[in-house]
Structure formats: structure tokens, C-alpha cells
Amino acid sequence: MAKKLILLVEDNPDDEYLTRDALRTGGVLHEMVVAHDGAEALDWIFTAGQERPRTPDLVLLDLKLPKMSGFDVLERIRADSRTRTLPVVVLSSSSERQDIHRSYATGANSYIRKPVNFSDFVRAVQALSVYWLTLNESSL
């Protein structure tokens, strides 16, 4: 199986490290790039094919980001015909019903609350990567 590309949109260095470590620990060896704010994420996505080698196969999106919120990033992704079907999984520490509802209403494919326990986080990240990067058939 060819390596897929994950775009992690995360401004917290500790959460970035935990996500990378959870993927490694879970045996997920796909390529990962990180955007540290919403503007950087959109720049990465929309310059694919120009400055970047390819569009990501999966976006893991935090909601609370500097410069532009995760909701704004998701709206922009869904508004463009080139990225409308790009799988976007919100990976957030928020368990607020309004955040969950707004994420789905804006076009998130899935909403996963970051587990506090590392082993639970490893299992969650491993399960989402198996589904979105192995089982799911992308239209991109």
C-alpha cells in the first residue's frame, strides 16, 4: 500500500507530539505534515500541485487555532470544488455540543474528542487512520 499524506492542523506543540507519537505507537506509518494555524493549513491545501507535491489524503483539524479557526478552515475546504470531498476529521479537546454540531454542519466527516489517556488516544488515532486511510475509498 502506498503511503498516504496526513495534514495535521494543530497549534499546540504537546498535542502535535502526542498525535505523532500515537500514530507511531499505533503502527500508522503514513507521511505527516503539520500546519500550526488555520492560514498555514489553507496555504498548504490550496498550493498542492503548485508548490506542494500533492493534496493530503486526510486532514486532522483542531478547532481552536490562531489566525483562523478550524471552523473557518473547514468552510473554505468545503467551499472549493477541488477539496469539497477531502476527508476532514475534527480532532479536538472540546466536548461542547455546539462545537460538535457546528463541525458536522460545516462539513466535517467525523468528530473525535481527544482522549485524556494516552493509550485511549493511540487507539482512537489508530482506528481513525485505519478507516480513513485504508478502508475508505476517496473520491480525490
Domain boundaries, the chain: 9-132
Q: Is the confidence at residue 48, as pLDDT, over 60?
A: no
Residue 82: per-residue pLDDT: 86
Predicted local confidence at residue 6, as pLDDT = 93
Which distant-in-sequence residues (6+ apart) come within 8 Å of 84 by Cβ? Answer: 77, 78
**pLDDT tens, 105-140?**
999 999 999 877 888 888 888 888 888 888 888 766
Res. 27: pLDDT tops 90:
no
Non-local (6+) Cβ contacts of 129 within 8 A are: 6, 23, 26, 28, 30, 58
Pick the CATH number of 9-132 from 3.40.640.10, 3.40.50.1370, 3.30.1490.100, 3.40.50.2300: 3.40.50.2300
Give burial (CB, 10 Å; 0-12/13-18/19+) of 54.
exposed
At 72-112, the pLDDT tens digits run 999 999 999 989 999 999 999 898 999 999 999 999 999 99
pLDDT > 80? residue 53 = no
pTM: 0.90
* Residue bearing the bigger pLDDT, 51 or 137: 137
Q: Contact at 8 Å (CB) between 109 and 89? A: yes
Confidence of residue 18 (pLDDT cuts 50, 70, 90): confident
